[in-house]
Structure 1
Amino acid sequence: MARAPFIAIEGPIGIGKTSLAKKISSHFDYHLLKEIVEENPFLGKFYENIEEWSFQTEMFFLCNRFKQLEDIETKYLSDNKAVVADYHISKNMIFAKRTLPADKFEKYEQIYHILTKDMPVPNMMIYLHGSLDTIINRIHQRGREIEQHIKTSYLAQLSQDYENYMNEFEIMHPDIPVIRVNGDEIDFVRYQKHLEQIINQVDEQLQKVTSEVRKG
């Protein structure tokens, strides 16, 4: 368990991770950690030609997320200040397995394990998921030009990869609660009552974490 509440939000591209992280940060007054996306100089080329630009893209993300988490550990969590992040660094492996050829993935995996060995671990995960139609609609709604070249087939594969990953995560980390939010049924951006449902679930898990810390 982290020394302070550390919530990570995960899910496919465009499902609403950053929007929810901002709302949770505001509600609980937690520090907000947002992943670097559009600053990646290789991302546009990646969406146009995944095979050619995958290694550069994934390495940029890995190095930047490593630095972000290193800073979070020293500036916040170690000082018992709570954090909510719109990603979990293990997402790197989801994308790398899908995009990298075998020889490059082997090298990437070695670097990943070296960098993440001592990284802070969330004590709560929120998993946003939804149908392919919902994901595509939300990507179009937010209108990032860099994402307009993403192939539908890639999004479909990625969505299934996330589902497989989260199922494995719950088995491998039974001590880390996972709150699943179905984006087909819940729109926390448009409907306040939907947001309140999620906030209540988060609050319930936070109380359990606090209770366990006190018992310890």
Structure 2
Amino acid sequence: MAEVPFIAIEGPIGIGKTSLAKKLAAHFDFHLLKEIVEENPFLGKFYDDIDEWSFQTEMFFLCNRFKQLEDIERKYLTKSKAVIADYHISKNMIFAKRTLQADKFEKYEQIYHILTKDMPVPNMMIYLHASLDTILHRIKLRGREIEQNIKPTYLAQLAQDYEDYMNEFELLHPDIPVIRINGDNMDFIRHQDDLNKIIDQAHRQLKTVVSTRTKA
């Protein structure tokens, strides 16, 4: 039986994950799963004082993403309905490792593994990355008030954390294709040709994912 397509898009803050997810969901007619961001009541305080508000912020995100994926599995994937998400729940660990103190991270990690043990896993990843200048420019363009206090040093560290994570992800999950998109060279929002290139790559990988699982 063929596996239901479940695509996750990842990358640093402001890189364009949601914008790309919307465009691909519309093209492929997949259900769009968007992460809850601005609804997090701790996020503004977090950007003002990371040490003080990191645990509350990360726990809110973890619990909401757990609930979202639980619903997605029940309402879509188990009914053979394809899904594209603008995040992968493992991003929680990227942020937690960067922001939480050791004692709190240990508690958080235990909760994370309990909640995600049986969660559905994407069978394709799209990784968006770019230079710090591009990331800062895009954050400014979208104009979220709560993001205007993000320190460039934090964003630079986060971008490197994502790069390290994705390199490790490809080693640990060789069966899950990863499409890497350089945001410095491609602007899929303003240029249709760039979007078409991403769509073509996704088409090819989807055929591979489905045919491989069918033969298995």
User: Are 1:209 and 2:209 an aligned pair?
Assistant: yes
Residue 120 (structure 1) aligns with:
120
Q: What's the counterpart of residue 108 of structure 1?
A: 108
Cα deviation code 1:12-70 (max 9, x no counterpart): 00000000000000000000000000000000000000000000000000000000000
Matched residue, 1:68? 68
SS at match of 2:88: coil
Q: In the alignment, which residue of structure 2 is the partner of 1:36?
A: 36
Could you say what secondary structure the match of 2:180 adopts? strand
Task: Give the corresponding residue for 1:178.
Answer: 178
Give the residue type in structure 2 aligned to 1:190: R
User: Which residue number corresponds to residue 17 of structure 1?
Assistant: 17
Residue in structure 2 matched with residue 192 of structure 1 by the alignment:
192
Contact between 1:2 and 1:122, CA under 8 Å: does it hold in 2? no
**Which segment is superposed worse, 202-211 or 174-183?**
202-211
**Amino acid corresponding to residue 111 of structure 2 in structure 1:** I
Aligned 8 A contact 2:34 2:87 in 1: yes
Equivalent AA in structure 1 for residue 151 of structure 2: K
Where has structure 1 moved over 3 Å in runs of 4 or more? Answer: none
State the 1:75 CA deviation. Answer: 0.3
Q: Partner of 1:36: helix, strand, or coil?
A: coil
TM-score with structure 2 setting the length: 0.99
CA contact 2:21–2:84 (8 Å) conserved in 1: yes
Deviations 1:111-152 (A, max 9, x none): 000000000000000000000000000000000001001001
Q: 1:2 to 1:19 in 2, by over 3 A?
A: farther
Map 1:44-59 → 2, pairs under 5 A: 44-59=44-59
Decide whether the 8 Å contact of 2:2 with 2:214 is kept in 1.
no
Q: Which residue type is aligned with residue 118 of structure 1? A: D
2:8 is the alignment partner of 1:8: yes
Measure how far apart 1:211 and its partner are. 1.2
| Residues 132-189 of structure 1 deviation map (CA, whole Å, 9 limit, x = unaligned) | 0000000000000010010010000000000000000000000000000000000000
Uncovered stretches (5+) of structure 2, i.e. residues with no partner: none
Alignment of 1:140 onto 2:140: yes
Contact 1:123 1:176 in 2 (8 A): yes
Output one character per residue of 1:173-214: Cα deviation in whole Å (capped at 9) or x when no partner: 000000000000000000000000000000000111121133
Cα offsets for 1:76-126 (capped at 9, x unmatched): 001110000000000000000000000000000000000000000000000
The one-letter code matched in structure 2 to 1:147 is E
Q: CA RMSD in A?
A: 1.1
Tell me if structure 2 keeps the 8 A contact 1:8–1:126: yes
Cα distance in 2 for residues equivalent to 1:101 and 1:140: 29
With over 3 angstroms needed to count, the CA separation of the structure-2 counterparts of 1:70 and 1:2, relative to structure 1, is farther
Normalised by the size of structure 1, how large is the TM-score?
0.99
Is contact 1:3-1:77 (8 Å) kept?
Answer: no
Structure 1's 210 and 2: CA in aligned 2 closer, same or farther, altered over 3 A?
A: closer
Aligned residue pairs, count: 216
> Post-superposition shift, 1:2?
8.8
Query: Percent sequence identity over matched residues?
Result: 78
